[in-house]
Amino acid sequence: MSQLAALAPLASALADPGRLRLHARLVLAGTAGLDPEALRAEDPATAKQLGRLLQAGLAELSEDGTRAVACPGAFAEALRPAPAAASASEQTPEAEAVAQLFKDGRLTAMPVRPARRLALLEYLTRRVFEPGVSYGEPEVNIALRQYWDDPSALRRYLIDARLLTRSADGRSYRVAAAGTAAA
């Protein structure tokens, strides 16, 4: 699953202003949390809002169900890299070269060598985007900004390498069909 796909349920759960306010209250309450029954008594809609936050993994109930607390690691968990399929000793030289370009999850340099740049761009495409999903420009920029401060340039590199395609009207982007990447 791409990071964008993993973050979507969290963002969706916080898209409603009422749920966002409730989540903020839970965060500010810290480990003491809030009493779900008191929240329901304040406003019946709060029960539904709390349910959505629980479902998205942004909140959890204490074992006895008397306290609702925010899950501070929800975003970190969604952004955590997927376990590597191969062990470090089995990594290809290309994969090792790409890994050296990152520090604390951020890209430190854009490779000049075409083969290394293509390997990086292929990695980012696999990591960030789901095949078959259409993304708007703001979504693409948000996804790429987590890796590089200039998402427009990174987006252009992905298009030039034929890893992303842009719609004719320029409003949406998709992962290019397999086998169309520039060599």
Query: 44 lies in which domain range?
Result: 3-76
Could you tell me if residue 180 is inside a domain? Answer: no
Q: Would you say residue 49 lies in a domain?
A: yes
Residues 28-63 pLDDT 10s? 999 999 999 998 898 888 888 998 898 888 999 988
Q: Tokens 């609702």 appear where? A: 68
Structural domains counted in the chain: 2
Q: Which two tokens stand for residue 57?
A: 């993994």
Q: What is the pTM of this model?
A: 0.53
* Cα–Cα distance measured from residue 131 to residue 124, given in angstroms and rounded to the nearest whole number: 13
Same domain, 100 and 167: yes
3-state SS assignment for residue 129: coil
Residue type, 59: A
